[in-house]
Structure 1
């Protein structure tokens, strides 16, 4: 049977782009089991009190924008912080702990809680987890990357405190703490996807797939998601959805917006587009070319040349598209 553009995209998404549902279920179960085990650490006399109500799932796996392969799962582990005091100083936060918790060896000489020492203490306890293989400080110095022998994915674990001002404090990579709130990203992605009748997540994954082919400079995953969501915040959904037509539009939008600064939707980090001007130019040039190809593919589909359209999409996404 001759494929249509829509069926070609459906096969491509199922075979090459979307995570396998059964694997995603196993990953969620393993994540929850890991947090259950970590919660046991607070029973030790020489470890901080933990509070599961402050745990948070974040990142592309939590937002369901993760494409194949599933290589990492992000989670934040909530520390109780009972009796702690925090305050902002320049571009970071300082945390004072209660007298008992000073004994855990994670404070500096000035009495403030050192986030790197907290990470190291948490890392030292992870050997208690069954199937433990390796735990090491993430290269950004903000998380622990945990490998378990029973799973092909890693866990990136960040210690966090939830504040009375209703935001989270996490390590800033330099021993201090910084503000964040991934709940804003999680909720925004969910709402935007619902607005477009559940189609938006797959669009994001498709663009990430193209981005990962590294035909040009790779756009940071979070920046790419923000650009896409910003565009669809301004669009109206009329009840119909053509994946090829939307790809054409978003390629053009990325080519335009990647040249500009992009504001953090959480209003915390400011500009999140840290790419230099040469990289921005190269990315814009690449996505403009892909937008031209996509426009031709859409035209071929409209006039009934389905195979010609599929051939063009195969040129864009690679030969796997026509398998």
Structure 2
């Protein structure tokens, strides 16, 4: 497992050594944290493209917190898991998909996929931008952070921001984007002292705290004694309650996820002073990034020059080997990653 905060290499070599295809199936519903027993690696022949399709060989895969929530019922059992995947076209019977082209698709945890033209997004090549960035800062993770700040929170220059789960993929991207967009004080929470130090030393957070070290509300008040204008919440629970208390008049909460409850569905409800929402004219709004794909080009135009100039860096934990994907997913759920968790096939 490696952490990356700099631009890396271009696309890895094709997986031509594989003679069979592997697909990961979910075989049971987890009760709490998923384990290896909830998954099966299914081997099959590498499929041949049919008219109108192309064969894509996987290069990089994304494992994300939302996968855990969908495993409770949205994913079909004994069927391939969905997920964002970057791959190279290695055979094609679809004229618009050329061999050697790099594409993104959502057929998920598999080494090979047959795709139609309308099932993929072609990945643009930018000088100095590694391929894996299209699953982190330019992928759904970065797009979530950018949309949250610009469309939902409507961040204005000088405003102060609190980000929960700040050392994850969305959290690190949010912190970096917020600074580039002119935010004032940016503070965050993380699950270890090492991550807290990473946020302040590497990502650019003005302050951060270990949420395991004491009540979140007290620690947030310590690092943001004058309150906050915005909260980007990836956790829910105690974090959300603390953020609502700390918000100033006309404050906004951007709800992105509830990772604190994905493995503990019986968690107690969030307790906060509901009168604050009215008396401080607060706004609490959630969103799904799939409803904002029209912002993708704007994200490129904003972020690519910053990355090329060194003002924006990648925060990634990269795990090698397709067979490591279940372990990478489990590690991510338990906080074993810094930045975006990516599997390099």
Q: Is TM (by shorter chain) over 0.5?
A: no
Q: Which of the pair is proportionally richer in helix?
A: 1
Q: Which of the pair is proportionally richer in strand?
A: 2
Using CA pairs under 8 Å that are at least 6 residues apart, name the structure with larger relative contact order, 1 or 2.
2
Q: Which has the larger radius of gyration?
A: 1
